Amino acid sequence: MNPSPPDATQEPLIELKDVAKVYKLEEVEVRALDGVDLVMQRGEYSALIGPSGSGKSTLMNTLGCLDRPTRGSYKLAGVEVVNMAADVRARIRNKQIGFVFQNFNLLARTSALENVELPMLYGEGLTSRQRRDRAKELLGLVGLGDRLDHHPGQLSGGQQQRVAIARALSTQPSILMGDEPTGNLDSRTSREVIELFRQLNESRNLTVILVTHDLGVARNAKRNIVLRDGKIIADTFDHDLAAATLKASSEL
């Protein structure tokens, strides 16, 4: 089912084999993921799409090392992470993966600059000056070089999401993940934010993975991965095919 990767001669950045995630709710088992196989190369831009309950958020949490599968293998940059201790998995997550969420998750009483600096306090042993310089550079990259001292309440929704993207980039991750990153934005601002994801993917060879229910957002990704009932039912570079598969599955 997997499409041909951009460069299959390289070791995959992400490799899932027979991954399942089962939740037990009293006497009922819920299979959020059910035998997922997935390979991604560095520099891909993918959208995980599907109806509510399809497993797309569980898949993102698995890929982001936020959750551990019940069964299967997950290799990140060639390293098996499923059986790692939680603290080791957290260190890999903090180094390799940046997250952008629908609700921005910024600290309200903290400036844009300080919000972006925050993840660097827990990582590379940078000096205060180095953290500040990198935060300034990243806020300039996302078009907020003139908003360094503004607090979230002084920024629009789109500007807050740009701060969140800069923060996600502050530890220089190889993967940028967005969980419905345009869900709280109007259509024009959504287009601007998605364009920023595209630019980061292309200019930095950054692997971008977005969870979205919005086919307009998914169209901007190069690869669409459609989920239903915890299974991947389409994995394609053809957005129209992905949209048609999603529509057909919703009519079953």
Domain boundaries, the chain: 43-57+86-250
Cβ contact 106:160 at 8 Å: yes
Q: Among residues 50, 88, 89, 49, which one has the least CA distance to residue 67?
A: 89
- What is the CATH architecture assignment of 43-57+86-250? 3-Layer(aba) Sandwich (3.40)
b/e burial code for range 105-116 (CB count within 10 A of at least 16 → b): ebeeeebbbbbb
Provide the β-strand partners of residue 22.
31
Q: Among residues 148, 205, 147, which one has the least CA distance to residue 6?
A: 205
Look up residue 104 and give its amino acid.
F
Q: Among residues 176, 15, 19, 171, which one has the least CA distance to residue 91?
A: 171
Q: Among residues 33, 149, 19, which one has the least CA distance to residue 76?
A: 19
Provide the β-strand partners of residue 40.
14
Per-residue pLDDT of the chain (252 residues; tens, 9 = 90+): 545 445 556 789 999 999 999 998 888 888 999 999 999 999 999 999 998 889 999 999 999 999 999 999 999 999 999 999 999 998 888 889 999 999 999 999 999 999 999 999 887 788 999 999 999 999 999 999 999 999 999 999 999 999 999 999 999 999 999 999 998 899 999 999 999 999 999 999 999 999 998 899 999 999 999 999 999 999 999 999 999 999 898 776
DSSP state of 133: H
SS3 148: coil
